[in-house]
Amino acid sequence: MKLVLINPNIVTQKGDFLGSGIPYMPVSLASLAAYLREKRHSVAVIDAFGECPTKLRAEEGFIVQGLTYQEILERFPQDADAAIVYASSIMSFEILLNIIRHIRKQFAKPLIVAENSQSVTAFSLQNCYRQLMDTGADFLVMGDLELRTELLLKSIQNHDLGYKKIDGIIYKERHKSIVNQVRNFQKNLDILPFPAWDLFPLKNYWKLGYSHGPLSSKKYLPLLTSRGCAFSCGFCIAPGLNKGVWRAKSAKRVVDEIEHWGTEYGVEEFHVEDLNPTIDKRRTKDICNEILVRKLEIIWKLAAGSKIETVDEETIRLMAKAGCRYISFSPETGSKELLKKMGKPFNHNLALRLAAVMGSCGIKSQACFVLGFPGETKQDIELTKSYIKKLAKAGVDEIAVFICTPIPGSGCFGKITGYSKISELTFSPRWRKDYSTLESARRNLYAAFLLAKLVYHPLNLLKQPLNIITRNFQTKMEMTVYRVLKVKWLYLFRLRH
């Protein structure tokens, strides 16, 4: 079959340049493209962001980067047998709907929406299927995409009803939608081909000069070395979309991919985008040892997070030796009582010790927090503030503070109300009645961290302006300053012309 895969635009929430507008490369879509091509489908990609990332417009209260709807249609192959649109992020939900509407006007063949189940900024299709189907989608594919999508396409090609038996599929029947729950997961990830990055405009991503993880090289690529997460945090979509099932590529397969992209594109920096890459400590060590045995001169960063209890001092030192230069981890709060409400285990004292170890061996670190989880008290926020100061003293290089939002598929969905559109469910939810209070608390936490850094590690803080000027970003915070200035300049330039 002749297929066209579409990656939607990236959007920035006006007034929140820090928590939105991040150019996540669509690694799950690239993996799907590679798998479908391996199955002898003809695959074309329209990357609505990547093909023109410096083109900006205002829409739906957001700043939208990339192609216009008309430009997407102009690139759309009219002889395609099916279209697959990627549900990349919650903030792009209205853009996703509009892309579906525009395609539907001129394309009568099957239109499929593919879930992004491996990112905390995505959302559950099962919780939003009515809007998607009413807008014009024919099928929704949830969970692991590769085999499910191939089975669906076979059914479409054979003009039969076999798709009704596929788990993880939502389809229309007699003017209503039928939901087949996800029951199975792709356990053997080693059999999947490497992502089809040759179909994406990589040079445009590299020219941006910023990414999700802190970028310190001219070229980079994301890695998805595992899928799922074994934990059940109440604010996160991962438990709902992955059912607590964690599955991973072997150490050899991970390093094979690293070596492949080094040979193919000269890439020496890799950003690990797993939900939880270090669950298997033995695998983490095996990856490090495999990199060292092959003498690969690379930099790699755990950009999306890791569970601090799954590593120890020995593992961290080995990771540093193998080229790891950044680890993000998530305390979420300084309150043990609130952690219980969240359903998240976290060892505060261990994190302090390991943060110091990271700093001693050249690994930059980030600690992430959530404000506004249901049941949080002023005392909880004070405990978070106190813990943030301890982290700064221990050597943590940066923090990120998000305000809890009820993303479809998370445990919070339905528990926090007041929004009018799905795309409003950002990490700066201005529709929350307590938003001004939470935003004030967030600024207070950032100020407390920076002041503590100035007291305990003044040289590290003073180096950051130089890193920004030289674009040798060691932290996301440094890179965000550059990204915000660049996007604001491009947006103002657009307004003037």
Decide if 192 is inside a domain.
no
For 158-206, what is each residue's pLDDT tens digit? 999 999 999 999 999 988 999 999 999 999 999 999 999 999 999 999 9
Predicted pLDDT at 317: 98
| Domain boundary, last residue among 155, 179, 203 | 179
Are residues 222 and 175 both part of a single domain? no
How many domains does the chain divide into? 2
CA atoms within 13 A on the CB side of 30: 19
| Domain boundary, last residue among 160, 179, 198 | 179
For 233-287, what is each residue's pLDDT tens digit? 999 999 999 999 999 999 999 999 999 999 999 999 999 999 999 999 999 999 9
What average pLDDT does range 22-37 have in this prediction?
Answer: 97
Decide if 264 is inside a domain.
yes
For residue 496, pLDDT over 90 is answered with no
Give the max Cα distance, the chain. 68
Q: How confident is the model at residue 491 (pLDDT cuts 50, 70, 90)?
A: confident
- Residue 436 tokens read as 């001004």
Decide if 196 is inside a domain.
no
Share of the chain above pLDDT 70, in %: 99
Decide if 197 is inside a domain.
no
Are residues 105 and 226 both part of a single domain? no
For residue 16, pLDDT over 90 is answered with no
d(CA 263, CA 430): 46
For residue 395, pLDDT over 70 is answered with yes
- Residue 155 tokens read as 């059914």
For 367-383, what is each residue's pLDDT tens digit? 999 999 999 999 999 99
For residue 17, pLDDT over 80 is answered with no
Using a 10 angstrom Cβ sphere, with 0-12 exposed, 13-18 middle and 19 or more buried, the burial of residue 448 is middle
Secondary structure of residue 47 in the 3-state scheme: strand
Are residues 301 and 448 both part of a single domain? yes
Q: How confident is the model at residue 20 (pLDDT cuts 50, 70, 90)?
A: confident
**Amino acid making up residue 294:** R
Secondary structure of residue 85 in the 3-state scheme: strand
Decide if 339 is inside a domain.
yes
Are residues 237 and 117 both part of a single domain? no
Are residues 220 and 159 both part of a single domain? no
Decide if 171 is inside a domain.
yes
Secondary structure of residue 319 in the 3-state scheme: helix
- Can you give the residue range of the structural domain that contains 368? 211-491
Decide if 455 is inside a domain.
yes
Predicted pLDDT at 497: 58
Secondary structure of residue 377 in the 3-state scheme: coil
Asked if 86 and 103 count as a contact pair (C-beta separation under 8 A), the reply is no
- What are the residue ranges of helices labelled H in 400-456? 435-456
Are residues 320 and 175 both part of a single domain? no
β-partners of residue 270 are 221, 300
Supply the CATH number for residue 173's domain. Answer: 3.40.50.261
Task: Classify the phi-psi angles of 123: left when phi > 0, otherwise alpha if psi is within -120 to 50, otherwise beta.
Answer: beta
Are residues 236 and 145 both part of a single domain? no
For 127-139, what is each residue's pLDDT tens digit? 999 999 999 999 9
d(CA 139, CA 152): 9
Are residues 275 and 360 both part of a single domain? yes
Predicted pLDDT at 175: 85
- Find, among 427, 408, 423, 405, the residue nearest to 59 by Cα: 423
DSSP assignment letter at 126: T
Share of the chain above pLDDT 90, in %: 94
d(CA 62, CA 1): 36
d(CA 487, CA 230): 36
Decide if 249 is inside a domain.
yes
- Residue 5 tokens read as 């895969």
For 135-170, what is each residue's pLDDT tens digit? 999 999 999 999 999 999 999 999 999 999 999 999
| Domain boundary, last residue among 159, 179, 199 | 179
* Dihedral sign from CA coordinates of 129, 168, 227, 296: negative
